Amino acid sequence: MSAQESNGRPAGPSAGGAGGSGQEPAHRAAPEPQPAPPLGDLEPAARAIFGPRLDLARRYTEHLASSGIVRGLIGPREAPRLWERHVLNCAVVQELIPADSRVVDVGSGAGLPGLCLAIARPDLQITLVEPLERRVVWLEEVVSDLELDNVRVLRARAEQAKQDVGAVDVVTARAVSALVGLVDITLPLLKGRGELLALKGRSAEDELTKASKKLGRFGVRESEVLTVGEDLLAEPTTVVRLVL
């Protein structure tokens, strides 16, 4: 799985997602918490993306490395690369989102990209949609600890969330499903107006081609594959953008 496609979820069918069953996986021994990785050479990029809210991003990354690993939202092997593979990779997408947008992050899991965007952009109003209770509880704890007043956590599958999320300008998704299935559960949330930003990897062009026959059904006017963060990150982020 490429950097852009990983959402920090444990591998396997129990990982869930917006279209998942919402059932919890079988009990397993909890892994040990890890120290949050230092920014090192990534600090200039992190400061450019998060600005004065970089300390909040550090605290969020500490949550990922500690309780996020212990409670199964992030794999232990992801700890050393949380900044480049996850947090910055997600947060850089903020440059594609207009000011004061209402954003719904589908299948939020460990808050990727939703919490990263909420930290980088306090002007955004973000709803995190996640079906699994233990992930919802963790997200609510992190939102409370970071005092993010621009975030709402909604326990639901994306298919069930249309009435609860209200007006939506942008839908985001990362590591939920291939685009051909993702459009079915995300584009209805836009209610005929807005855009989907799907974080993808090297398969982005191929996924867009395979989904192309469905796009007209949802009124998609524009579709493109974008690369963001090239001037900041060694591995920039690939995004499929669909505009209704």
Binding-site residues for S-adenosyl-L-methionine sit at 107, 112, 158-159, 174
Q: In what side-by-side order are the strands of the sheet with 222-228?
A: 151-155, 125-130, 102-106, 170-174, 195-200, 237-243, 222-228
**Which residues are annotated binding-site positions?**
107, 112, 158-159, 174
Q: Are strands 125-130 and 151-155 parallel, antiparallel or unpaired?
A: parallel
Query: What is the CB neighbour count within 10 angstroms for residue 138?
Result: 24
CA 27 to chain centroid, in Å, comes to 25
Cβ pair 148, 82 in contact under 8 A: no
How many residues in the chain? 244
